[in-house]
Every structure is written in structure tokens, then in C-alpha cells.
Amino acid sequence: MGTALIYVLVLAVVAAVVFVAAAAVFGRGEELAPLAPDATPTRLPAVEVQGADVRSLRFQQVVRGYRMVEVDWALDRLAGELDRVQADRRELVAHVTRLETTIARMRTEGGRDDELGHGP
């Protein structure tokens, strides 16, 4: 009977130690406190965020943190989308510039036609 009591007590102590260690490492199920409004663990440029900026982001890792695979997937997708949108934007800006040049040239050519009497 004495041996069984010792086993039960040792088992209870071991269980308590494992519980305390698990609670210290994993917490008790509460949510993490939000960061202060002006605090951020990551850095991005103030303007013109590029796909490379998103790809180079690194987050602080903690035991109760995030799934790295999911965050990496999301960041890769966002970086690709940023690259695509910025390429489209550059293409459109170049197209607008070409159109403005063409309009300006046509206006100057139209002015010469009016001076020569060939205009409407």
C-alpha cells in the first residue's frame, strides 16, 4: 500500500510540473495582447512598396506565434500581385506619355496646316 501511495504522489508531482511547463510555454488559451497603435515588428517603406519589400518581410517568431508556411504563402502571393500591378501601372504610364506626345505633335502640325491655309 505504501508503494502505491508513493507512485500516486510522484505521478501527481510529475503531472503538475508538466502542466506548469506547458502553461508557461503555450499559455492558457488567452489571445495575445495587440501591439500598440504605433508599434510594429516589421518594416516597410513609407511609399512605393515593391514585391521585393514584401518578400523580404520577416516577422518575429514566438512559441504561440503564427504558421510560417501560411504567412510565407500569403506574402509570396501579395508580392507577386504587387509586381503585376506595378508592371501594369508602368505600362499604362508609358502609354499615356506616348498618347500625350502624339496629341502634342498633332496639335503643332495642325497649327502649321492652319497657317498654310490647309486647315478646316
Q: Which residues of the chain have pLDDT under 70?
A: 27-42, 60-63, 111-120
At CA 87, angle to CA 84 and CA 92, rounded to 5? 125
d(CA 18, CA 37): 36
List for the chain the helix, strand, coil content (%; round to 5).
65, 0, 35
Buried b (16+ CB within 10 A) or exposed e, 30-44: eeeeeeeeeeeeeee
pTM above 0.85, yes or no: no
The pLDDT value given to residue 116: 47
Are 60 and 41 contacting, i.e. CB atoms less than 8 angstroms apart? yes
